[in-house]
Each structure stands twice: as structure tokens, then as C-alpha cells.
């Protein structure tokens, strides 16, 4: 699928499949145009691995998916051009036989190591194409007991169907609370957004000249940071590349397999560090990422130069929907108005610097991450990148827009995301979910880092080029060990503060 349009073959209203590239007829029912954001991600797939606590009841899952997931607009549509050449979403019939897949794995491999057998199967999906004459999503059900789960469900969906926010909403609509199967799962409260844009409302006239000056100054700083970030964005597209490191994609990685590995970390430990140094959960996770990548880099490279200048950046997707939209979508789904939920890709991007360094105090990774993230919050970089995608497509066409997006990916090192999940255990059509591990297959990146919270855990999920990272489980260990070291340092800081107060 890389660098080519999605196929437009379909069967609509009982008609025979159209030839690829043919425009839609006037008699056919066409949906809304495919957004520029959706067309930017034509090479990307989202994969969600879910561990289930019971064997897969295939008929129940098929029926549930067909009744709920397949009824959403994006999940029963394909992309086709109308008579004016505009790419639109075209409704089509969904056959569950094509979308719910129960593969047969090698019995010897399963008997030898069931965890690796499941992992190998998920990795194989990264090189398998999808039939573009059908809606671009699949559910794979692996009824194989592993060390963490009794069975595994794997959702593979093309990124054009939605971003992480909309897919989380969709998955929530397919689950129910394990404590009360009659209701949707409880979600955490909406996050409070911070930064210069949100932190300084206009002061009242009685506040005085000094406070008003500070308010004006905050917007001058905001404007300056935005100009700098926009300049760096254009420089990245044109010539500014990250330093060549162990994490840089080597050669043509388009058709190399991506392996997905994941592990559960303690959300309580993350929150403990958050409280200890007065930061956010996201700050802690960025700090853990810096620490883990640094530990892996120095161990594998043998480099002892700690003052070396290493440019390593992550593309951080940011949800542009209001912070209350997830809860609003949940309420609409609960009230039977799921069709009113706005799907698609409503995201912007941040070029977030990651730091390869050695610190005697592990908390310095989090402190420096907080400084970096706070700086990025004082900028309109996210809004600009979203608008820029729309403008590039309108002015220069989809090929130019996709080329610019691909250069941004190829000139940076990795992608990083953090997604909030339910705060209580949920059931997927009667199957208790043990863990949720989402990630993205990105051809141009050798490593993608995702965090997913669920109940009292946060799942670290790595999607890596298996040829470049044959020791990816060691890298996964580095993330677990880094959080432990940071948490131990935070415990020591708490004790010292307590003794000083005493």
C-alpha cells in the first residue's frame, strides 16, 4: 500500500465490483470526502492487541462486532472517486467472514512457545496487504493460552479510518464494565490542558498594570515559540535530519517485518513519581522513554562520550478534540446516538526532542522531560501542523502532501504516544480484557513507542523493525528498569523531604 492510492474496487448496492481507478457512478450513494489528514496516513496501520481472560467465543464476538463495530460509517465504507475526481467514502456491504479471522498456527511452534507464536503472528500482519475492495479493518482471534492471557484478539485497521481517539471510542462502545455488564466502562476525568494558551486568562482591570503586562508577555512568548517551532518544522521537511543512531532506520525498511512487544508497568509508580516532583503523567512517561533509550544506546554502542550532541526527535500526535469529547462520545454511544460521533483523524503533531544522556540522578530524566514538554505547550505548533496538512493538500495535491509528511517521518527517529483507557476492568462481548496494547506500523521508522493506561497499569508497547532490533525484549526490559530506578529515586527524595520537615 505504500505510496499508492487505496484501491477503489467495491460492491455497492449489489453491483459488480468496479475496475480499479474508475470513478463512482451518479447512481451510487457517496459519503463525505476523504479528509487530507486521512490521506496523509495511507501507509500506516493501527494494531491493537488485547489479551482476554477466557477462550474466544467466536460466534459471540462475530455477532457483537457485526452489530456494533461494522455499523459505524468508516467501518462499512471504502474510498472511491466521484465523477469530479474527489475521493469519497462509499458505503458498502460488510461480510464478517472477511473481517473476523481465526488463523491456524503451527502446532509445533505453539507447543514450544505460545507467547512467541502469537508474537510472530502479529508481526506477520505488518507485511500482509489488505483487500482494498473491502473496508480496511480486521479482527484476528487467536485461541491460544499465553503467559498473560487465555486468548488474544488483534484489531488491525488502516489509519485513515480514524486516529487513536476515535478508535478508543469505538472500542469502548464494544465493551462493558466487568462489574456491571449493563453499563459502559468508567473512564478517568478529562485531563486539564496547561500551557501559555490555557494558563493565563485575561486578568480583570482591578489586577493592575503588572499583571496585565505579564499576560501580554505570555502571548509574546507564545508567538515567539510558535515561530521557532514552525521554522524547525519547515527545516525538518527540507534538510534537518536527526543524528544517525542505533534507532535510525537502516536501508529500505518498507517491507521488513515490525515486531510488537509489550509489558505492563505500574501506573501507581508513575503517579508516585508525578506527585514527588510535581509534574504530569505524560512528563514521567517521556522521562522513562529518555532513560530507557539512553540505557539501551550506551549499552549497545559502547559509547562513553556523555557530552556528545545527539539530535533525536519523536513525532508526538496530539488530539485536537476538546478534552471532554471522549466522555461526550461515550454518552452518545450509551444513549444510542453512536452515528453522531465524529470519526476520522483530528490530530496535530509535535516534534518532541528526546535526550540521550547519562544522569547520576534518575529523576533528572523526568525533570528535563518536563522542561521540554512545558516548552512545547507554549506554542501553536500542534494547530499549525494540522492546518499545514490541509493547506498542502489543497495547494499542491495529495502526492505533494504525502511526500512532505513522509519526509517529516524519515527526518525524525520515532513516534511516541500516550493513550488513556478505562479505569476499571472491562469485558469485550463477555470476554474479560487482561491488557490492551495499541501501536502503529510505520514503514519509515525502526521503532515506535506507545503507552496505554488500563485500570492500575500502563502498558509500554514497542513496534520495532525486527531485523534491526533482534534484542527488542532487552529494550523492553530497559523501560521497566528505568521506571523502577526513577521510582526508587523519587522514594529517596520523599524520605529526604520528610526528614527535613521533621
Question: What's the confidence (pLDDT) of residue 9?
Answer: 37
Burial of 495 (0-12, 13-18, 19+ CB in 10 A): exposed
Q: Which of 159, 225, 262, 431 is catalytic?
A: 159
In the predicted model, what is the mean pLDDT of residues 121-142?
A: 91
> Which sequence spans correspond to the domains of the chain?
226-257+270-417+463-501
Q: For the segment 161-206, what is each residue's pLDDT rounded down to a tens digit?
A: 877 677 777 787 788 889 988 888 887 776 665 555 555 566 666 6
Tell which wins on pLDDT, 470 or 396: 470
Q: What end-to-end distance do the CA atoms of the chain give, in Å? A: 64
Is there a contact between 73 and 57 (Cβ–Cβ < 8 Å)?
Answer: no
Q: For the segment 391-426, what is each residue's pLDDT rounded down to a tens digit?
A: 877 777 777 777 788 888 889 999 999 988 889 999
Is there a contact between 144 and 102 (Cβ–Cβ < 8 Å)?
Answer: no
What DSSP character marks residue 126?
G
Q: Please give the distance of CA 327 from its chain centroid, rounded to a whole number.
A: 19
In the predicted model, what is the mean pLDDT of residues 283-290?
A: 96
96/63 Cα distance (integer angstroms): 9
Q: Please give the distance of CA 448 from its chain centroid, rounded to a whole number.
A: 9
Instruction: Give the SS3 label for residue 246.
Output: coil
Grid coordinates representing 86 are: 474527489
Annotated active-site residue 411? The verdict is no
Q: For the segment 249-283, what is each residue's pLDDT rounded down to a tens digit?
A: 887 666 689 999 999 999 999 999 999 999 999 99
Tell which wins on pLDDT, 332 or 415: 415
Q: How confident is the model at residue 144 (pLDDT cuts 50, 70, 90)?
A: very high
408/43 Cα distance (integer angstroms): 14
In the predicted model, what is the mean pLDDT of residues 344-357?
A: 83
DSSP of 333-391: HHTT-GGGS--B--EEEEEEEE-----SSTHHHHHHHHHHHHHHHSS-HHHHHHHHHHH
Amino acid at each position: 500500500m505504500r505510496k499508492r492510492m487505496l484501491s477503489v474496487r467495491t460492491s455497492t448496492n449489489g453491483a459488480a465490483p468496479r475496475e480499479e481507478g474508475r470513478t463512482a457512478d451518479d447512481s451510487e450513494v457517496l459519503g463525505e470526502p476523504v479528509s487530507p489528514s486521512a490521506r496523509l496516513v495511507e501507509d500506516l496501520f493501527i494494531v491493537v492487541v488485547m489479551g482476554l481472560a477466557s477462550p474466544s467465543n467466536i460466534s459471540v464476538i462475530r455477532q457483537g462486532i457485526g452489530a456494533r463495530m461494522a455499523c459505524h460509517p468508516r467501518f462499512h465504507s471504502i474510498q472511491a472517486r466521484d465523477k469530479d475526481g474527489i475521493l469519497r467514502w462509499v458505503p458498502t456491504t460488510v461480510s464478517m467472514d472477511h473481517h473476523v479471522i481465526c488463523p491456524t498456527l503451527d502446532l509445533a511452534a505453539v507447543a514450544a512457545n505460545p507467547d512467541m507464536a502469537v508474537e510472530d503472528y502479529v508481526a506477520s500482519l505488518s507485511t500482509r496487504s489488505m483487500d482494498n475492495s473491502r473496508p480496511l479493518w480486521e479482527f484476528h482471534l487467536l485461541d491460544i493460552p499465553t503467559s498473560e492471557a487465555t486468548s488474544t484478539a488483534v484489531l488491525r485497521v488502516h489509519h485513515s479510518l480514524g486516529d487513536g481517539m476515535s478508535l478508543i471510542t469505538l472500542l469502548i462502545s464494544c465493551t462493558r464494565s466487568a462489574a456491571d455488564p449493563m453499563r459502559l466502562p468508567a473512564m478517568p476525568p478529562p485531563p486539564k490542558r496547561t500551557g501559555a494558551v490555557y494558563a493565563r486568562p485575561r486578568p480583570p482591570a482591578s489586577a493592575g498594570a503588572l499583571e496585565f503586562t505579564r499576560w501580554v508577555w505570555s502571548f509574546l512568548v507564545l508567538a515567539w515559540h510558535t515561530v521557532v517551532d514552525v521554522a524547525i518544522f519547515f527545516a525538518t521537511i527540507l534538510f534537518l535530519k536527526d543524528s544517525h543512531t542505533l534507532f535510525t532506520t537502516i536501508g529500505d525498511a518498507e517491507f521488513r517485518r515490525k515486531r510488537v512487544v509489550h509489558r505492563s508497568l505500574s501506573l501507581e509508580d508513575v503517579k508516585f513519581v508525578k506527585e514527588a516532583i510535581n509534574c504530569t503523567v505524560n512528563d514521567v512517561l517521556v522521562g522513562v522513554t529518555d532513560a530507557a533509550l539512553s540505557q539501551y544506546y550506551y549499552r549497545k554502542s559502547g559509547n562513553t562520550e556523555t557530552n556528545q550532541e545527539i539530535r533525536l526527535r519523536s513525532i508526538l500526535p496530539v488530539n485536537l478534540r476538546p478534552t471532554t469529547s471522549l466522555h461526550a462520545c461515550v454518552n452518545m454511544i450509551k444513549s444510542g446516538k453512536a452515528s453522531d460521533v465524529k470519526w476520522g483523524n483530528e490530530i496535530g503533531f509535535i516534534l518532541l526532542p528526546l535526550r540521550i544522556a547519562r544522569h547520576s540522578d534518575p529523576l533528572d530524566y523526568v525533570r528535563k522531560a518536563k522542561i521540554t514538554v512545558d516548552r512545547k505547550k507554549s506554542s501553536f505548533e500542534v494547530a499549525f501542523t494540522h492546518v499545514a496538512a490541509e493547506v498542502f493538500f489543497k495547494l499542491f495535491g495529495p502526492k505533494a502532501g504525502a511526500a512532505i509528511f513522509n519526509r517529516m517521518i524519515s527526518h525524525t527517529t520515532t513516534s511516541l504516544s500516550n493513550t488513556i483507557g478505562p479505569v476499571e476492568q472491562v469485558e469485550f462481548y463477555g470476554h474479560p480484557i487482561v491488557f490492551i496494547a495499541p501501536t502503529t506500523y510505520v514503514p519509515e521508522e525502526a521503532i515506535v513507542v506507545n503507552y496505554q493506561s488500563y485500570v492500575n497499569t500502563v502498558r509500554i508497547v514497542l513496534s520495532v523493525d525486527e531485523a534491526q532490533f533482534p534484542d527488542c525484549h532487552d529494550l523492553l526490559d530497559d523501560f521497566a528498569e528505568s521506571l523502577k530506578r526513577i521510582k526508587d529515586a523519587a522514594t529517596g527524595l520523599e524520605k529526604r523531604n520528610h526528614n527535613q520537615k521533621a
